[in-house]
Chains A and B, each alone.
Chain A
């Protein structure tokens, strides 16, 4: 099977499993005893937050691969940037869905709670990373600076995750990945939550492949235009 078909297959799996998650989350699963129908947001909110962590993890590993001389290649830099951009989309959605859940639960759209603040900081850090990529014209300098910035920004990821443990926060503690690894959710609610995690991971995979392909095509175009310009100069000299 060709690469294009694989990508199309991943896309089809991603969007069909998201559709199933939506049906399960909105209509099949029961309301919660305490939260009522609001619990349905749990099938999307933690899943998009997980994908943001995953995206920044991939950005960090790719940045490390670029910085390490043995594996240095511009493809790692392109992958890091592609994953960071997708991560920014998912972080923004994490904040939006969290805010929508917070309004009826806490009575406010936003509060300077540790989890919310560190997540907002995460978004700002990676927006800064993407902005930094547009500053330098020199390709090597841009790649090196961006890789270092990505690694610094990643420090915030474990802080976000542990914020509900380290500080007294309004945000509830982890439902699945808690300290005792004892999930507080069961039955079809747990399966729908798991499906949400899987489906959004597939969406991430599809998006990062597409974004990487775009960056790669632009990279090749830049190379071609530089080569053509050199040939033209040499030809006229």
Chain B
């Protein structure tokens, strides 16, 4: 083509691609922090004596 068209399409792919990667990585990281592990209670209730 003429280089400008390819550059335009590449810019959009690079911009949206890098933001998508950042979003996916960030949400995966947060999921591992936020999702409670079964049996791992932050505030375990005291058993009655």
A contact residues vs B (CB 8 Å cutoff)? 18, 22, 25-26, 36-38, 40-41, 44-45, 48, 86, 89, 92-93, 96-97, 100-101, 103-104, 203, 206-207, 210-211, 213-214, 217-218, 220-221, 224, 228, 231
Q: Give every chain A residue within 8 A of B5 (Cβ-Cβ).
A: 26, 37-38, 40-41
Sorted nearest first, the 8 A-B pairs with minimum C-beta distance are: A210-B23, A217-B30, A100-B8, A37-B1, A97-B8, A41-B8, A40-B5, A93-B15
- Give the dominant DSSP class at B's interface: helix
Q: With A26-B9, A220-B34 in contact, is A231–B43 under 8 Å at CB?
A: yes
* Structural contact, B24 and A210, CB atoms closer than 8 A: yes
* Structural contact, B8 and A104, CB atoms closer than 8 A: no
Most buried by B among A25, A36, A86, A214: A214
> Smallest Cβ distance from A230 to chain B, in angstroms?
12
A120 to B43: give the CA distance in the assembly, Å: 50
Q: Which residue of A lies closest to B31 (CB)?
A: A217
Could you write out 27 A-B pairs with CB less than 8 Å apart?
A: A22-B9, A22-B13, A26-B6, A26-B9, A37-B1, A38-B2, A41-B5, A41-B8, A44-B8, A44-B9, A44-B12, A48-B12, A96-B8, A96-B15, A97-B11, A100-B4, A100-B11, A104-B2, A206-B20, A207-B20, A210-B23, A210-B27, A214-B27, A217-B27, A218-B30, A224-B42, A231-B43
